[in-house]
Amino acid sequence: MYKNILVNALVNLGDVVLATSALDLIKKNFPDTKITMLVKGVVKDAVIDNPAVDDVIAFEYTARKNSLGKTYEIIKEIRRRKFDLAISFDRKLRPALITLAAGIPRRVCPTKIFESKKSRVPMLYTDVIEIDYDLSSRLQAESFQEIVRKFFKIEGHGLPQFPTKFSSNVEKLWKQIPQDKIKIALCVKGTFPLKTYPKEYFAEVVKALREKYNAAFFIIGAPNDKIYADEVIAEIGGGVLNFCGETSLPDLAEIFRRAELFITVDTGAMHIAATTGIKTVAFFSCIPVARYSPINENAVALSSHEPCCPCTVREKECPSYPKPNCLYNVKPAEVIAAAVKFLG
User: Does an H or E element contain 336, and which?
Assistant: helix 332-343
Span 56-87, pLDDT tens digits:
999 987 666 667 888 899 999 999 999 999 99
Amino acid at 100: L
Confidence at residue 214, expressed as pLDDT on a 0 to 100 scale: 98
Confidence at residue 48, expressed as pLDDT on a 0 to 100 scale: 97
Pairing of strands 106-110, 4-9: unpaired
Span 261-284, pLDDT tens digits:
999 999 999 999 999 999 999 999
User: Does an H or E element contain 93, and which?
Assistant: helix 93-101
User: Does an H or E element contain 81, and which?
Assistant: helix 67-81
**285 to each of 189, 204, 267, 290, 306, how far by Cα in Å?**
12, 18, 11, 12, 8
Residue 27 near residue 47, CB atoms below 8 Å? no
d(C-alpha 217, C-alpha 260), whole Å: 11
Question: Burial of 240 by CB count in 10 Å (0-12 exposed, 13-18 middle, 19+ buried)?
Answer: buried
Domains contained in the chain, CATH given: 4-152 (3.40.50.2000), 168-343 (3.40.50.2000)
Per-residue pLDDT 10s for the chain (344 aa) are: 899 999 999 999 999 999 999 999 999 999 999 999 999 999 999 999 999 999 999 998 766 666 788 889 999 999 999 999 999 999 999 999 999 999 999 999 999 999 988 899 999 999 999 999 999 999 999 999 999 999 999 999 999 999 998 789 999 999 999 999 999 999 999 999 999 999 999 999 999 999 999 999 999 999 999 999 999 999 999 999 999 999 999 999 999 999 999 999 999 999 999 999 999 999 999 999 999 999 999 999 999 999 998 888 898 999 999 999 999 999 999 999 999 999 99
